[in-house]
A and B are shown apart, each in its own frame.
Chain A
Amino acid sequence: MAQISDLRKVVGELKQKESEEITKELLAQGLDPLKVLEDGIVKGLGDVGARFEAKKAIIPDLVKGGIVAKTCIPHVEAALPKGGGDSKGKKILIGTMLSQHNIGKNLVSTFLSINGFEVIDMGSENEPWDFYEKAEEVGVDMIAVSVMFIPAKQKFAELVSMLKEMGVREKYKVIVGGAITTEKWTESVGADGWGAQAKDGVDLAKQLLGVS
């Protein structure tokens, strides 16, 4: 019988088919989908990230990890109670700034959905104006941005400035996360919150939007 540790192992080894099969098996066993996600898929991805830090993996491995996770996560989502958690009645716009790298963004999106937030996912390679325009169009409560490389940091700062210039800064809480971001930098550009891990997005959203 498969264990969650098995899922973590195969995700870490970037075995797409095995990861999907074990995910399905664990869910069929009746395990908590959130536990499957956090202790199996997310920790497996963390292992790939640790190998990258140790120079034992390269960027294509990180991308492959994202593909493996994308294969497994729909099964987790399907196993969640319909409508995810209790609806929080809050809309969150999420996307990556400039970058194609969307593993972290996708995980945050999933965690937010699971926790009852309505997520409007703008996908990858967005510019500041895209976030502003979509936020105004949809009428969201929060903008969550993934920043993965240096030019995107500058663009994120532009987004915060742009919201101010357009007179809508107070309408939206703005949070950011991603490999090269820090709490100090987030404060320096005037955003509302920073998350080090994908799971932090949920805590930030609850805290900043005043929901439990």
Chain B
Amino acid sequence: MGKLFWEIVDRTMTGPIMKEDEFENEFFPTKIAEIVAKHKIEFDPAEPIMCDPDLADEIFQAGLELLLEVGLYCKDTKRIVKFTEEEIKEVISTRKNEVTFGKDRDAVTLKPRAPGDKQHPYTFFPAGIVTRDVNKYKLHALTVAQEPTCDGLIPLPLAGIGEIRPASGTPTETLIALTEAHLMNEVTSWVGRPGLFRGIPMSATTPVALMSVFASGLYNKHNCCMSTQILQDLRINYDRLNLAHFAQQNGIVPWQSSCAVMHAYLTGPEQAAVELIAHTLGMMAFADGSFTQAMSMTVDGYYFGSEIWWCNSAAALAAERNLKVPWISFGGQGQQVGPLTDESWYAIAAACITACISGMEGMWLCGGPTGLEARWGGEITRAAAGVKVSDGIAIIKKIAKKCNAPKHEPVPLTELYDLKTMQPNDKYLNHYKKFTKIFKDMGLDYPAWD
């Protein structure tokens, strides 16, 4: 747990009281608006990637100020946990700056990389699909895990097991989370990579289920992280603190994570980027994590587009220059578009190139829930790893308008893969080859593309 952990616990019981609706509707929105205005942080819709180092430093400073001015709001006690500048600066100065995921030959170690570094961001693929059909879930995961560029898996949440539906906080949630872990272990063994990183238990949300799945040994400190993510807009609760404490006691890497939602309580990408920095510093204070996952979305559920790329790149660059902890962001396209659409593949490429030129160290949920989408995410990330920032931005500008698409219905795996050989069919492979050519023509390359 973090250096300030016990101080934070104490302050949840002694800090100033504020009604939650006052915090979320007045205090937080007013403070973040003031701080963003003071630092003159402005989003330029014509520039999808934020690569200005001076502005990145302003964003970092604004995030620090936001945490100091607002603090962390404890939902359980309605009290605000405040910090001094010295405390947060000590958190920053004593941070860890690398993290190892997975075990033995399947382990990967994420270390700080600068924009344009030849070392590629690591790619963690979505495993499974949101379904109650366990076999279908496993098949999707297998297609992804067998890909050579798979640096780890992020299990998608199982929506149930046959007729069993999850009810939060009941044994059904634990059963489904344990089943997810069984399936991940089976999949990683099947592909001959038992040490592969399994992300976080995505089918569990409550502390009981999360702790149970680690207590079972199916997920453990070598293959999985504990969810300790902050709640929206600088809020915590005792679940967060209990999970951070459990992670520390059991030597499990805490999964520090936040997702800024634009146009809900945040006006746009400027506020979202600042919030991601404040969230990261806040999580480091209570969880002492050695990396963070930071992403953004719009209130209507989009994970790509200029606002998203600007926010994600701005926060990543701010952290790369001022914090240097491994920084992971979202490398997929959400569920708006399907595996055979051009829009989907452009959106994956845009997210991965953004990571490369913004100094990120990893992409989670990179690609999509089929192996070929994952392959695309893994390869485009490696192809773009050494690209100059200006060249990467030029590509993103070229493809930005090609990412948007209406929501598509899911395509069954049987229409994409031969399930006997577990290989993509010709139609799907041709789609992949079309995109390798498009991006090769734009100046990117990867050995397998020949």
Contact = CB atoms under 8 A, between A and B. Distances in A.
Partners in one complex: yes
Interface of A: 52, 55, 58-60, 63-64, 100
Interface stretch (B22-30, B220-228, B243-251, B430-438): B22-30
B265 interface: yes
B263 interface: yes
B411 interface: no
Nearest to B266: A58
B267 A100 contact: no
Contacts of B264: 58-59
A58 B21 contact: no
Contacts of B268: 55
A8 B299 CA distance: 26
Given A60-B26, A60-B29, 5 more contacts: A52-B263, A55-B268, A55-B298, A59-B24, A59-B265
A44 to B, nearest CB: 18
A55 B26 CA distance: 19
Contact of B265 (A58, A64, A100): A58
Interface string B344-363: 00000000000000000000
A60 B29 CA distance: 8
Interface in B216-270: 262-268
Interface of B: 21, 24-26, 29, 262-268, 298-299
Contacts of B25: 59-60, 63-64
Given A63-B21, A100-B21, A58 B26 contact: no
A60 B28 CA distance: 10
Contacts of B263: 52, 55, 58
Enumerate the 3 nearest inter-chain pairs by beta-carbon distance, A residue then B residue, closest first: A60-B25, A55-B263, A63-B25
Nearest to B268: A55
A100 B266 CA distance: 19
A19 to B, nearest CB: 18
A60 B24 CA distance: 7
Contacts of B24: 59-60
A63 B30 CA distance: 14
A60 B21 CA distance: 9
11 contacts: A52-B263, A55-B262, A55-B268, A55-B299, A58-B29, A58-B265, A58-B266, A59-B25, A59-B265, A60-B265, A63-B21
Nearest to A52: B263
A55 B267 CA distance: 8
A16 to B, nearest CB: 13
A119 to B, nearest CB: 23
Contacts of B299: 55
A9 to B, nearest CB: 22
B380 to A, nearest CB: 29
A58 B264 CA distance: 5
A59 B24 CA distance: 9
B434 to A, nearest CB: 33
Contacts of A52: 263
Name the residue among A52, A58, A59 with the largest chain B CB count within 10 angstroms. Answer: A58
A60 B267 CA distance: 10
Contacts of A63: 21, 25
